[in-house]
Structure 1
Amino acid sequence: MKNKKFWSYENKLVLIFFFTVGFVFFDRLAINYLFPMISVDLGLNYTQLGLLGAGLALTWSVSGPLGGFISDKVKSKKAMLAVLVLLFSFVSLMHGLAQTFIMLFVLRLLMGIVEGPLIPQTQSILAMESSERRRGFNLGFTMNTSNALFGSILAPVLLVGLATKFDWHIAFYLTIIPGLILSFFILKQVKNPDPAKFHFMHETKSSEKVKIKDVLKHRNIWLSVIVFSLVMTVLMAFQIFGPTYLVQAKGLSDTTMSFVMASFGVGYAIFGFLIPTLSERTGRKPASSLSGLLLILVPLSIVFVDSIPLMMLLLFIGSAGSGVIGMSMSVIPVESAPLQYSGLAVGLTIGVGEFFGGFLNPMINGRLADIYGIQTPLYVAAAAGVIAFLLTFFYKETAPAKVQLTPEQEANKNVPVV
């Protein structure tokens, strides 16, 4: 009877982690929306904009797996989680004190260090505490929907609104408030999971030594590594350079830019769930291909469309590309490899994708923007989207409902069942 109550521990955990993960991406993306104001104030160029995005991605890609490993060893996961939330909130506040590019860059490196472990830690705790039938929904809701709602919808509207009314320093100062609230609720409401659950869930994976070469033998895995790197290139180029392009090249006001960017976030929140859900019936491959095709609209729409309503509509439609992001990042790798390889398969995909799409891509595109113009990263993003779309046709189908007809089964489908 107790488990039937809505305010169960599982639902409390989902709600707390929904806000925690959302606030992580709110802070991570904040500087992109405020950069048009920061660049004028501090005299920064596009190369430096790219470096600010790259620095965070680099430390994030290292601290994520390392922090996850450390969290498995500490006695109190919730205490570590609460401390990390406080730390990244404090680092976010410190952005408001920055007076030079060097200080901003150091703060981005620090933010990547303290934010990186939060995602694997929240997801692993939630996976342990979720009921079997809710695990997929809980992980997707706390990761994808919160990311879109806070990072792509609320962040541009709220932060730009605050910065316009006051200044960009104040927008960063106020980010300490939700951090204090979240850390309090984590300490009060989150329980340390039973270590036995973790060992039970991972006993198959830890019983064998897994090598990268074994994982890459599976075509879907190395395809996912490439596809995810390419779609990360699209997403990061849009999120890092898009706001500045809209203000400085298109001549939009900061407020109008924030609503244009938020239209992508609204679609991301919807399609981030809808496309993977539909792929259960249509298959991962066709859903990935359609999603990959629509993702190309994102960079092209803000370059070639001048009508604000039409631009927002196309960004909303293009946000369906979030489907291929999620499927190439985790769904297809997990379904393509044996159980003992699944952890490494996902870690490899995310690690390489963050390195190329989140680290190298902003650095290179920032330099190209200074040489050839701020529109250049968006052309690079469109080209990356086209290549990712074409590569999705080489996936092997993995959806459970569709895998029932493997090539071997297809050859024998007319053989009568005795």
Structure 2
Amino acid sequence: MEKRKLWSYENKLVIIFFFTIGFVFFDRLAINYLFPMISQDLGLNYTQLGLLGAALALTWSVSGPLGGFLSDKVKSKKAMLAILVLLFSLISLMHGLAQTFGMLFVLRLLMGIVEGPLIPQTQSILAMESSERRKGFNLGFTMNTSNALFGSILAPVLIVALANAFDWHTAFYLTIIPGLILSFFIFRTVKNPDPAQFHEMHSGKSTEKVKVKDVLKHRNIWLSIIVFSLVMTTLMAFQIFGPTYLVQAKGLSETTMSFVMAAFGVGYAIFGFLIPSISERTGRKPASLLSGLLLILVPLSIVFVDSVPLMMLLLFIGSAGSGVIGMSMSVIPVESVPLQYSGLAIGLTIGIGELFGGFLNPMINGALADTYGIQTPLFVAAGAAIIALLCTMFFKETAPSKVGTEQVQPSARQEEEQEVKSTVQV
């Protein structure tokens, strides 16, 4: 029988991109968990908190689609990835040197520029190199689970612990270490996708001729943009304003707050890959509907629940909403257009979603929080989740098991298929 290598190139990519994307979100979200300390040290208000989140999202929304376009055109994808990881790690370290709001604001703008292209790059490469039966799992695991583990579990616990042990400046200094390690492994391990294999995969999936400008004409693409913008509004309002709300309005300590936020992260890590994997059989649309419904619990639970254990339980359940985030951001867009446009499709979804959900949302919510109270952004988050749920009803099903578009090529990379075949034992 056939024996597949555990340490196959596909599995290597999944592991490397898991840590890469996870570290992107660790760096992106770290400032939210440290803001109660930073605001006290630098004298910042809620509007400035929103502006720091908006600054990164603004440049991310521009560099995301550009990165998606470049990921479809650039020759050495691995060199570009390694350089981007190194650059955002250096910028993260420089956060520790900031002494004013202006310095932090400029650094957030720069971080968005270099982090924006990373997700379209990694997800595009992974879509090309994944076997069809594992594509949903690979994309969901590297995007949602890594985001959750690093951004929503490790970030609040580790970054707050480091800041308590030393100070928030030192916590940022230490973020350079994993970035250096990841840059090395990306440059050493990642291969540039084989164009011949790529076009063969495409010809097996679709004969539709689509120009780049036609990507937005696909219903699922603009629906994904709308849904992702709304769920980004929910997620970012929760992640940006939630920690400060728990400390300043609920009266929790920074340590207790970090564990409450981590409860969401634990569920995010589990459901982030579980729901996309289940959707391989149930279909993307039913899984998105269930996930979108549970997402509504997230902002409401920390507003209306005072019991910390119950709050953590509800956040864990509500974290199943991470499924619709990953589905609308990468899985559905990738399956809705010919594969050579996958990078652009993901880049547009992320870029426009970041513009509304990541840029305008925290800016407006920061002003609303200063005017009406820190709880206001969380009510906005709940409303956005409800509208997103309604929009998911109009998705066109894309799961290969439901629409009968199983690709001719079943595995990750042609040369590895030949190696696998050679391991047939008598």
TM-score by length of 1: 0.88
Paired position in structure 2 for 1:119:
119
Which secondary structure state, in structure 2, belongs to the residue aligned with residue 211 of structure 1? Answer: helix
For CA contacts below 8 A with separation 6 or more, give which structure has more relative contact order.
2
**Structure 1 residues 354, 205: closer, same or farther in 2, change over 3 A?**
farther
The answer (yes or no) to whether the contact 2:145–2:271 under 8 Å persists in 1 is no
Matches of 1:206 and 1:80, distance apart in 2: 30
Matches of 2:335 and 2:345, distance apart in 1: 10
Paired position in structure 2 for 1:304:
304
Paired position in structure 1 for 2:286:
286
- 2:23 corresponds to 1:20: no
Q: Deviations over 1:331-351 (max 9, x none)?
A: 334445576876655443322
Matches of 1:328 and 1:60, distance apart in 2: 18
Instruction: Name the stretch that deviates more: 63-72 or 156-165.
Output: 63-72
Which secondary structure state, in structure 1, belongs to the residue aligned with residue 161 of structure 2? Answer: helix
Matches of 1:51 and 1:143, distance apart in 2: 25
Q: Deviations over 1:162-220 (max 9, x none)?
A: 001111001000001111111122232333333444455567799542435x74463x4
**1:65 deviation in Å?**
2.6
Matches of 1:135 and 1:402, distance apart in 2: 15
**1:81 deviation in Å?**
1.8
The answer (yes or no) to whether the contact 1:296–1:385 under 8 Å persists in 2 is yes
**Percent of paired sites with the same residue:** 85
Matches of 1:330 and 1:22, distance apart in 2: 16
**1:282 deviation in Å?**
3.4
The answer (yes or no) to whether the contact 1:333–1:346 under 8 Å persists in 2 is yes
- 2:98 corresponds to 1:95: no
**1:35 deviation in Å?**
0.6
**1:243 deviation in Å?**
0.5
Paired position in structure 2 for 1:147:
147
Which secondary structure state, in structure 2, belongs to the residue aligned with residue 4 of structure 1? Answer: coil
Paired position in structure 1 for 2:382:
382
Paired position in structure 2 for 1:266:
266
Instruction: Name the stretch that deviates more: 343-352 or 196-205.
Output: 196-205
**1:34 deviation in Å?**
0.6
**Structure 1 residues 14, 348: closer, same or farther in 2, change over 3 A?**
closer
Matches of 2:247 and 2:172, distance apart in 1: 20
Q: Deviations over 1:93-133 (max 9, x none)?
A: 00000000110000001101111121122223333433444
Q: Deviations over 1:126-161 (max 9, x none)?
A: 334334443333332222211111111101000000
The answer (yes or no) to whether the contact 1:265–1:319 under 8 Å persists in 2 is yes
Paired position in structure 2 for 1:359:
359
- 2:132 corresponds to 1:170: no
Which amino acid letter does the alignment assign opposite residue 110 of structure 1?
L
Structure 2 unaligned residues grouped into runs of 5+: 405-426
Which secondary structure state, in structure 1, belongs to the residue aligned with residue 393 of structure 2? Answer: helix
Give the alignment partner of residue 213 of structure 2, picking from 211, 235, 239.
Answer: 211
Instruction: Name the stretch that deviates more: 79-88 or 1-10.
Output: 1-10
Which secondary structure state, in structure 2, belongs to the residue aligned with residue 5 of structure 1? Answer: coil
Paired position in structure 2 for 1:35:
35
Paired position in structure 2 for 1:193:
193
Query: How many aligned positions are there?
Result: 402
Matches of 1:262 and 1:62, distance apart in 2: 30
**Structure 1 residues 362, 6: closer, same or farther in 2, change over 3 A?**
same
Instruction: Name the stretch that deviates more: 227-236 or 60-69.
Output: 60-69
**Structure 1 residues 393, 196: closer, same or farther in 2, change over 3 A?**
closer
The answer (yes or no) to whether the contact 1:215–1:344 under 8 Å persists in 2 is no
- 2:392 corresponds to 1:392: yes
**1:389 deviation in Å?**
2.0
Instruction: Name the stretch that deviates more: 188-197 or 341-350.
Output: 341-350
